[in-house]
Structure 1
């Protein structure tokens, strides 16, 4: 379809952008809206500043996000630091909203029990969130069977006692901006890998886990998909591909597999990376895959490195939107006028959180003031 023909189809869906204004929700104090774009240009976490932005493309926003800073457990003597969560939903917003409300609480619970932060604590938090959501699916199976087809990628970052923990299940990504002392430029260091069937390593992992299933990954319309349906191999939710009892009526036929399965096709276990932070580590860019579809790691790091920190997440989102518009041979100002739902033909929901790292603060082990902020969830009325 040519760009001009496509524009004629979507032009009735154009709308005027809302004027940016303060968010009336107290938990998002100081945040603003501009049409489908929500942002908080600057705030302070335990180890420096942060910037946050979300833009909606789907009818219902499927991205959810949060930043928590201060106590990471319920114990006064427990670990302190900063937690970031990016939850990129698919099939609907229910799972990402659930993770946004529960995963951090489970992390605090297990950190209290273990009296510290660890890979085990993080794994337990992911799996407990998964178990509770699947329990919810079971309870609502007859009244809301479509809940079995909803899932969410989960990307978590934790900074505690000078150590960075990254946990990922799905295809969101975190990239570190590290100062090169020789050139004084920021180099990009990808700290996570995606669990997406487009990657050969993921396809090989799936084939090794399901040696008797020749159709575990299928090339469909030039896109690799698991069972011809989904691209991500790890997620919270997606009960219909984890438990056969949810892969039958009354679930919609497009989600039901023709052959029964005995073991889960997808799983919720995150891959966890741990590393010490160093003085040359300048900032971290956490984002759902909607950003990385349009910007490379290097492009994103250069934008952060070459511009003021205030509003940098919003700048990254706008850079991605400019690229999305360019790919369709249209102007960014015209893209902004296209309403949610139809907007998904141009780009995905995009969430970005940029954490700046003050090495003097990272090296300190003192207590930190508390912060709890969730990104816009798409449910508020336009301002």
Structure 2
């Protein structure tokens, strides 16, 4: 994995190894883990805890079919929090998944129990027992096993094998000078990046969740197309539905996307994939009998391919979280909120099987006097509230600069023109750090009297300088 540079000292030739800079970075990462372990330092910052629960009341049982999604998301979050170098993230995740899936079934620390799966119909006599895991204990088991794997890699006996944990083609070849900035694939993804922020604000609990998977295709092994995935989930009656959706919905969507042939793909297939993901996530969570629900707005960004050099945006949602597509001249709100008092939603609710009503309670129109959105994931006790998403697709052009995803805690309290202007001005301010822009928007929402949890995700479709140049040229 290294090139050779010769130097002459007297009559003796001394050979120095020019190691790939990416491999060196990975070794430094592992050395830091060892140092932190010796010093008993925490791997995670304040508030960055992987496990969602602080008590036994804030967890849920994980059935066998749900385990892979929970393992992948827990590993991915852990690798990001540990700041694992990019070109080693996916291979290490794959290795960890293989180790964990093989061992968690018999691991006592996962708190495994056995339950009888309910029959799909009265005539189904083939009820089968399945394994059920406690979410928090499963997450702890996953994190512990990842740390054991990384610790093994610090052993001297593994020093010569570390290159095997890098992505194929990402390291410099033997006998060549280190060129880590050289392209490793024929087609490079556009310079898409993201930043996100959230705050509990006035409520007693933080019930919002969000997920940003810029390496979505790599994470879920979607080989036919490069995608990125972003989602914002505004939970209510507790955070559990939102937590569940962040892990399960991306996984279920990826399963459907694997069946799409991108040479002949049409929008209908993407719509069906999203519908299946939303409805299946809702069905599995409702089976747990947990009185929690969440809105959801999800964005799938399809990057250019050999066949097409144009990016494409697919958006699906339930509830009132929103997605704003921005260019310097036009801002397009992609979401039409699902509210009980909307004429089409009211008609559907009142025609629902078993009956449904729309009532004005505590200053808002509510389904059955309870829920202030007409569609959501979860909320199994509010039957007229469905999880069938609405869907739009947008071909992206060079004029499009970024996408803003946010909960109603943001969009209901900051006018969209103000959001757009603030982001552009922040990007043009050389002293403003990109990661601080969500904080600026959150402060605007608070100044606008937002009393709710607030979450915002900004997906940049170009690098910063190009966005600023695009804005100034208008």
TM-score class, shorter-chain normalisation, is 0.5 to 0.7
- 1:72 pairs, out of 213, 217, 221, with 217
Q: Structure 1 residue 177: deviation in Å?
A: 1.3
User: Residue 22 of structure 1 contacts residue 29 of structure 1 at CA under 8 Å; is this kept in 2?
Assistant: no
Q: Structure 1 residue 48: deviation in Å?
A: 2.0
TM-score by length of 2: 0.52
Aligned equivalents of 1:133, 1:46: Cα separation in 2: 36
Q: Which has the greater radius of gyration?
A: 2
Aligned equivalents of 1:347, 1:76: Cα separation in 2: 40
User: Residue 46 of structure 1 contacts residue 70 of structure 1 at CA under 8 Å; is this kept in 2?
Assistant: no
- Aligned twin of 2:204: 59
Secondary structure at 1:158 match in 2? strand
Aligned equivalents of 2:293, 2:211: Cα separation in 1: 18
Q: Structure 1 residue 199: deviation in Å?
A: 3.5
Change (3 A) 1:220 1:159: same
Q: Structure 1 residue 96: deviation in Å?
A: 0.5
- 1:85 pairs, out of 231, 234, 254, with 231
Aligned equivalents of 1:218, 1:22: Cα separation in 2: 42
- Aligned twin of 2:399: 280
Aligned equivalents of 2:322, 2:271: Cα separation in 1: 18
Secondary structure at 1:113 match in 2? coil
- Does the alignment pair 1:195 with 2:314? no
How do 1:1-383 residues align onto structure 2 when only pairs under 5 Å count?
A: 26=78, 27-28=80-81, 47-57=191-201, 58-72=203-217, 74-75=220-221, 77-115=223-261, 118-137=270-289, 147=290, 149-161=291-303, 162-180=311-329, 187-207=330-350, 209-210=351-352, 213=355, 216-242=357-383, 265-308=384-427, 310=434, 311-324=436-449, 347-358=451-462
> Whose strand proportion is higher, 1 or 2?
1
Change (3 A) 1:356 1:219: same
Q: Structure 1 residue 228: deviation in Å?
A: 1.4
Q: Structure 1 residue 200: deviation in Å?
A: 4.0
Q: Structure 1 residue 188: deviation in Å?
A: 2.1
Higher RCO, Cα 8 Å, sep 6+: 1
Aligned equivalents of 1:212, 1:71: Cα separation in 2: 40
Aligned equivalents of 1:71, 1:210: Cα separation in 2: 37
Secondary structure at 1:241 match in 2? coil
Secondary structure at 2:446 match in 1? helix
> Whose helix proportion is higher, 1 or 2?
2
* Count of matched residue positions in the alignment of Structure 1 and Structure 2: 265
Aligned equivalents of 1:316, 1:154: Cα separation in 2: 20
User: Residue 72 of structure 1 contacts residue 111 of structure 1 at CA under 8 Å; is this kept in 2?
Assistant: no
1:26-69 Cα shifts (integer Å, max 9, x gaps): 53468xxxxxxxxxxxxxx9642211101013322110001002
Change (3 A) 1:61 1:160: same
Aligned equivalents of 1:350, 1:216: Cα separation in 2: 29
User: Residue 423 of structure 2 contacts residue 437 of structure 2 at CA under 8 Å; is this kept in 1?
Assistant: yes
User: Residue 79 of structure 1 contacts residue 115 of structure 1 at CA under 8 Å; is this kept in 2?
Assistant: no
Aligned equivalents of 1:222, 1:237: Cα separation in 2: 23
Aligned equivalents of 1:87, 1:110: Cα separation in 2: 21
Aligned equivalents of 1:212, 1:95: Cα separation in 2: 24
1:290-342 Cα shifts (integer Å, max 9, x gaps): 10121111111111122127121121111111222xxxxxxxxxxxxxxxxxx
Q: Structure 1 residue 349: deviation in Å?
A: 0.6
1:339-381 Cα shifts (integer Å, max 9, x gaps): xxxxxxx61111100011129xxxxxxxxxxxxxxxxxxxxxx
Secondary structure at 1:51 match in 2? strand
Change (3 A) 1:115 1:288: same
User: Residue 341 of structure 2 contacts residue 358 of structure 2 at CA under 8 Å; is this kept in 1?
Assistant: no
1:168-216 Cα shifts (integer Å, max 9, x gaps): 1111001111122xxxxxx321011110124344324434x34995x61
User: Residue 176 of structure 1 contacts residue 191 of structure 1 at CA under 8 Å; is this kept in 2?
Assistant: yes
Consecutive unaligned residues in structure 1, runs of 5 or more: 1-20, 31-44, 138-146, 181-186, 243-264, 325-345, 360-383
